[in-house]
Amino acid sequence: MVGQAQVLALVAALCAPVLGGLGAFWRPWVSIVGAFCAWVGSAVLFWGALVGAEAHLSLGRWVEVGTLVIDLDLRVDLLAATLLLGVHSVGLAAQLYAADFLRAQAARPLRLSSLLSASSALLFCADNYPLLLAGWALLGVGIHLRAGADYAERGTVGRIWVVLRSGDVLLLVGLVALCAQGQVDWAEGGGAAQWIGFCLLLAAVLRSAQFPWHFWLTRVRDPGVLLQAFCAGSAGIYLLLRTRGIWGSDAVLVYTAVAFGLVTALFGAAASLAARDVRPALAYAIASQLGLVLAAMALGDGRGAALHLAVIGVGMGLCLIGVAYLAQAEGAVWDPVVLGRWRRLLSLPFWAVVLGALTVAGIPPLAGAWSYGVLLAGLFTVGGPALWVGGCLLVCVAALCSLRLVFLIADAEEGEKPQAFRTPGGAAQTALIGLGGLAIFGGALGYPPGTGFLAAADGVVRWELLIGPGLAGLAGLLVAWLAYGDQPVDVDNEQKTSALRRMCEEGFYAEAAVRSVVGRPLLALARLARDADALLFELATVELGALGLRGAGWLLGRLQSGQVRFYAAVALLGVVVAFCYLAIT
């Protein structure tokens, strides 16, 4: 019975977004129905995985060439189910937000959101590498299109595509090598050459927006797109979790991943703290979280990575959707100091932001506290107290980033209600209440103690390790209150930007450097090749060839006349030369 329910849920999680997306061509709200069905399916899968029931489904054979046999098999274990639930929750919320916010223009974003949900489901449910690659690439295309649907962000679209496409190809290189060696299913998990692991790692680094390729994510400005970009970024972490058997035993690769993760975590936090616009502040905070998860997952056992990604998705969803309504109340004003003026008039979005920030900060008893706890407990197991303390410090910094925004919003002077004032509609309210419920009831993941995610491998639950990150989050709350709380901000003075802030806003010029070193020379080379192509091949080969032929024709024309005889003579000459040569040799 459980097995059948799991299979049905798997089909719903995979097919409902597709059908919803197709149905959106008829009526846009069908997409939301599809997303809701997918969410229900993923919730059932999560419940089943928690009680130890994995879902399997085989859709037949993809290719069979010699010994290379690749099936279209799907499997959902606890890791996949957790991420699936998180991504579908966030996806549903993003769709509700888009339907409410964009109204008449919501059809395209809703369809593309369905594509994102379906590709995420394919990625997380894939039982083998080619299917995983299909979900991965579709997810990349989906986020590219989702950003492209916003006509104001064309520059971002190009960046997203270049980075994600490069990651796709790196992943393809690694997976082709694995498949050629007979490792088709990720469950086989054998070792492989270092360069294969490096390809997979680099693909994951690109996809999960690690420094210096963070800009594809941090340049996104639309809150809904940013939320879905986070889901796409979490795919990079998921890939590394699945291929741990390939790269996890190689110290060079492990420390490379840790280096990427740590640098991104610290850089993202610094840039987030320096940002005045609430959108890049949250975008950098997302990048920082992805870096933290990468580093912790590479060093530790990675048990809590999926849970943490799902929880951060919920928390960031609350922050982004709430902030979007606060900012759009009077027009597109994204300064946290200014948008805080409407917090009493828009109490639901404001409290959603607070709840989301507290979740991301890991404040107990919200879900974030447990996810940080499980994530960092793995660090303690592998690296001892020093690593664990380092992880707690990063949690403190992450808490500071998210709670800074809350204090800036909360401390703004209240304004009077303007004439054009936009309040969230029923769909957006549902999204906020739903995500809030998940953040609160996610706190119940810790109960009963010692079960589910908190079940220790050795059966001994170390509560001090689980509670420690929560205390670090509280320390971050204290620091944020000391730094930003109860301090009215002088708007005029805040407009002055320091050199550090400018550098942070420019992403420490990493993007410009990449553009100068790679992008421009490559385009110049392409243009050069285009011009040379016309010159070299069209003129040199064809024209010179034609010139030669005309010359030969002029010579032969003395003897013959007429086109047919001319070509016959050329052919005859060729035959004679060839026979002469063969006769001589």
Chain residues that interact with other proteins, rule: CB under 8 A: 60-68, 72, 108, 130, 133-134, 136-138, 141, 144-145, 148-149, 151, 154, 157-158, 161-162, 165-166, 168-169, 172-173, 176-177, 179-180, 195, 522-523, 525-527, 529-530, 533-534, 536-538, 541-542, 545-546, 549, 567, 570-571, 574-575, 578-579, 582, 585
Residue 117 or 402: the one with the smaller Cβ distance to other proteins is 117
Least separation, in Å, of the C-beta of 356 and other proteins? 31
Least separation, in Å, of the C-beta of 23 and other proteins? 15
Residue 136 or 342: the one with the smaller Cβ distance to other proteins is 136
What is the Cα–Cα distance from 150 to 102, expressed in whole angstroms? Answer: 11
What is the Cα–Cα distance from 112 to 142, expressed in whole angstroms? Answer: 6
What is the Cα–Cα distance from 395 to 374, expressed in whole angstroms? Answer: 13
What is the Cα–Cα distance from 199 to 203, expressed in whole angstroms? Answer: 6
Least separation, in Å, of the C-beta of 310 and other proteins? 25
Least separation, in Å, of the C-beta of 239 and other proteins? 14
Residue 13, burial from CB neighbour count under 10 angstroms (0-12, 13-18, 19+)? buried
Residue 180 or 500: the one with the smaller Cβ distance to other proteins is 180
Residue 103 or 154: the one with the smaller Cβ distance to other proteins is 154
DSSP 142-192: HHHHHHHTSGGGHHHHHHHHHHHHHHHHHHHHHHHHHHHTT--BTTT----
Least separation, in Å, of the C-beta of 340 and other proteins? 33
Three-class DSSP category at 560: coil
Least separation, in Å, of the C-beta of 541 and other proteins? 5
Residue 155 or 488: the one with the smaller Cβ distance to other proteins is 155
Using alpha carbons only, give the angle 306, 311, 312 rounded to the nearest 5 degrees. Answer: 100
CB atoms within 10 A of CB 262: 21
Least separation, in Å, of the C-beta of 572 and other proteins? 10
Residue 192 or 265: the one with the smaller Cβ distance to other proteins is 192
Least separation, in Å, of the C-beta of 357 and other proteins? 34
Taking the alpha carbons of 100, 104, 109, 110 in that order, is the dihedral positive or negative? positive
Least separation, in Å, of the C-beta of 327 and other proteins? 24
| Token code pair at residue 490 | 């002088």
Cα 425 from chain centroid (whole Å): 28
Residue 68 or 482: the one with the smaller Cβ distance to other proteins is 68
Least separation, in Å, of the C-beta of 323 and other proteins? 26
Residue 61 or 417: the one with the smaller Cβ distance to other proteins is 61
What is the Cα–Cα distance from 563 to 560, expressed in whole angstroms? Answer: 9
Residue 46, burial from CB neighbour count under 10 angstroms (0-12, 13-18, 19+)? buried
DSSP strands (E only) in 480-575? none
Q: Which residue has the tokens 């919730």?
A: 43
- Which residues partner with 71 through β-bridges? 61
Residue 494 or 531: the one with the smaller Cβ distance to other proteins is 531
What is the Cα–Cα distance from 60 to 70, expressed in whole angstroms? Answer: 9
Least separation, in Å, of the C-beta of 529 and other proteins? 6
Least separation, in Å, of the C-beta of 250 and other proteins? 17
Residue 415 or 557: the one with the smaller Cβ distance to other proteins is 557
Residue 51 or 546: the one with the smaller Cβ distance to other proteins is 546
Residue 115 or 355: the one with the smaller Cβ distance to other proteins is 115
Dihedral-angle region of residue 377 (phi above 0 means left; psi in -120 to 50 means alpha; beta otherwise): alpha
Least separation, in Å, of the C-beta of 390 and other proteins? 36
- What are the backbone angles phi and psi of residue 479, rounded to the nearest 5°? -65, -40
Radius of gyration of the chain (CA): 28
Q: Which residue has the tokens 């007979």?
A: 182
118, 134 contact by CB (below 8 A): no
Three-class DSSP category at 351: helix
Give whole-number Cα distances, 525 to 159, 344, 511, 519, 531, in Å: 19, 57, 20, 10, 10
What is the Cα–Cα distance from 147 to 165, expressed in whole angstroms? Answer: 15
Least separation, in Å, of the C-beta of 136 and other proteins? 8
What is the Cα–Cα distance from 290 to 377, expressed in whole angstroms? Answer: 18
Residue 482 or 578: the one with the smaller Cβ distance to other proteins is 578
Residue 91, burial from CB neighbour count under 10 angstroms (0-12, 13-18, 19+)? buried
Residue 162 or 270: the one with the smaller Cβ distance to other proteins is 162
What is the Cα–Cα distance from 228 to 109, expressed in whole angstroms? Answer: 11
